[in-house]
Amino acid sequence: MSAHNSSESNSSEEAARLKSLHRYDILDTPPEEQFERITRLAARWFDVPIALITLLDKDRHWFKAVEGIDFCETSREAAFCARNIQSDTILTVEDATEDPRFADNPLVKGQPGIRFYAGAPLKTSNGHRLGSLCLIDTTPRSAEGMDLSMLRDLAEIVVDELELRAVSKDLEEKNQKVKELVRELKSAEESKRRHLSQLLHEDLQQVLQAARMTSQTLSGADSLTEKKADQVERLTESIEEAFRITRDLSARFAPPIANQPLPDTLQWLARKIEEDHDLSVSLQIKGAASMSDETVKRLLYDTVRELLFNVLEHAETNEARISFQREAGSLRVIVENDGQYAPKTKQEGPLGLARIHERVELFGGMFDVTSQPGQGTQITVEVPSSTTF
């Protein structure tokens, strides 16, 4: 092989080695006990003052675990590890001052004053050597009689810990992706259900209502023959049956709002949010909160639901609180959380808030957002009691 081809091969191998190293996403991570334990054990077992788990990056020599020194990286040029990763064998240096490869090394001539070195390469299952588990002494010593197979075993444990850490991280990321996908599917399903409910409740029932009115008009006509009257009666019965079916179907696709107290409906919503989105929602009621206006009830339900989904999407919290306060002349609904996502004005911020504000004001209501650092966000919706009681 020519020198040119050899250089290209070495460059390609180093690129693959660095890619393997970076896959573990471990450089510059804080100390972890499973690695610190190994360096403590190695230092005691071999009776050396310094033991390191080192990783060789492109331009530096970084230490994942350190026993016996107070710094965590050096330049790559000064790294004994740079030679150690060139083969699978354990590199031993009994007196670095007498070894021409290391005599001028700044870690030998200066601190920590390396004399003895023994390093076992950290070789992964795909054959890449990422760094070393190494022993260091500041006085020369002989490697004869040292059970360096133990050092190799400890190095393999380091690699096992790296693999376990990488697998755990991959599983965590995949689990998070699965959770996000489930949330998206549930959100899409809920949107479809609401659309179906709207079609059934508003569009289809409006058509049926028109048919009902026509049949009622026909049934009262004096000019109907007995046969026609029977046909109109059967038509009216069919229309009423269609009303019942669409009403039942609408209830299956939509929350229990009609003919239900609003607190019960919101309690249903809170449970649904907790089950589907892992957001804990508490509900507090102060004073009676019954209402007869189904339109306003739907407005308040949709408002609270939209605000809870804003909490899910924009606030870094897993808890929210809903409270009802009936006061003289008004019903107040408050949605609180400990996160920070409030807009600067009512027209800015997360999608939906401006729309909610407009809808509430159409009913003569009030919509307010307050947010304080460290205290969370509070959104208040207030409607006149004359429209609700």
User: Do 270 and 135 lie in a common domain?
Assistant: no
Q: Of the given ranges (227-231, 264-268, 294-298), which has the lowest mean pLDDT?
A: 294-298
User: Tokens 């209402």 map to which residue?
Assistant: 291
pLDDT number for residue 264: 77
Contact 108, 114 (CB under 8 A): yes
- Strand order, beta sheet including 330-337: 280-286, 319-327, 330-337, 376-384, 366-372
Residues 6 or more apart whose Cβ sits within 8 Å of residue 42? 48, 51, 67, 133, 135, 151, 154
Please identify, among 102, 119, 146, the residue that sits at the C-terminal boundary of a domain: 146
Least confident of 6-15, 93-102, 335-344: 335-344
pLDDT of residue 194: 64
Single-letter residue type at 347: Q
E strands, 43-161, are 50-56, 60-67, 73-75, 91-93, 116-123, 129-137
Q: Which of 250, 260, 244 is nearest to 203 (CA)?
A: 250
Tokens at 208, concatenated: 């049926």
Q: Are 123 and 117 in contact (CB under 8 A)?
A: no
For residue 290, what are its two tokens?
Answer: 């019954």
Please tell me which residue, 79 or 313, carries the higher pLDDT value.
79
Claim to verify: residue 142 and residue 14 sit in the same structural domain? yes
Output the pLDDT for position 66: 94
> DSSP state, 90?
P
73-75, strands of its sheet edge to edge: 73-75, 60-67, 50-56, 129-137, 116-123, 91-93
Which pLDDT score, from 0 to 100, does residue 229 have?
Answer: 75
Please report whether residue 17 resides in a domain: yes
- For residues 262 and 127, membership in a common domain is answered with no
Answer yes or no: is 166 within a domain.
no
Q: What's the whole-number mean pLDDT along residues 6-19?
A: 77
Q: List, in sequence order, every residue forming a beta bridge with 65; answer none if it has no partner.
A: 53
Q: Residue 170 falls within a domain, yes or no?
A: no
Q: Which of 11, 372, 363 is nearest to 382 (CA)?
A: 363
Q: Is the pLDDT of residue 276 over 80?
A: no
* φ/ψ bin of 343: left (φ > 0), alpha (ψ from -120 to 50), beta (otherwise): beta
How far is CA 20 from each of CA 26, 241, 368, rounded to the nearest angstrom? 11, 68, 53
pLDDT in tens, 100-144: 999 999 999 999 999 999 999 999 988 899 999 999 999 999 988
348 assigned to some structural domain: yes
Residue 9 sits in the same domain as residue 140:
yes
Question: What CATH number does residue 265 fall under?
Answer: 3.30.565.10
Cα separation of 162 and 261, whole Å? 56
In this prediction, residue 290 carries a pLDDT of 55
- Residue 270 inside a domain? The answer is yes
In a domain, 171, yes or no: no
Q: Which domain holds residue 123?
A: 3-146
Q: Is the pLDDT of residue 349 over 70?
A: no
Which of these three, 118, 146, 174, is where a domain ends?
Answer: 146
Number of domains the chain contains = 2
Q: In terms of pTM, does the model score above 0.75?
A: no
- The verdict on residue 378 lying in a domain is yes
297 within domain boundaries: yes
* β-sheet bridge partners, residue 283: 322
pLDDT digits 0-9 by tens, 163-207: 888 888 777 777 777 777 766 766 666 667 666 666 665 566 666
Q: Is the dihedral of CA 96, 102, 106, 109 positive or negative?
A: positive
CATH of the domain at 86: 3.30.450.40
Looking at 93, 120, 146, the residue that finishes a domain is: 146
What is the rounded radius of gyration, in angstroms, for the C-alpha atoms of the chain?
36
What band does 342 get if pLDDT is binned at 50, 70 and 90?
very low
Give the H or E element holding residue 379: strand 376-384
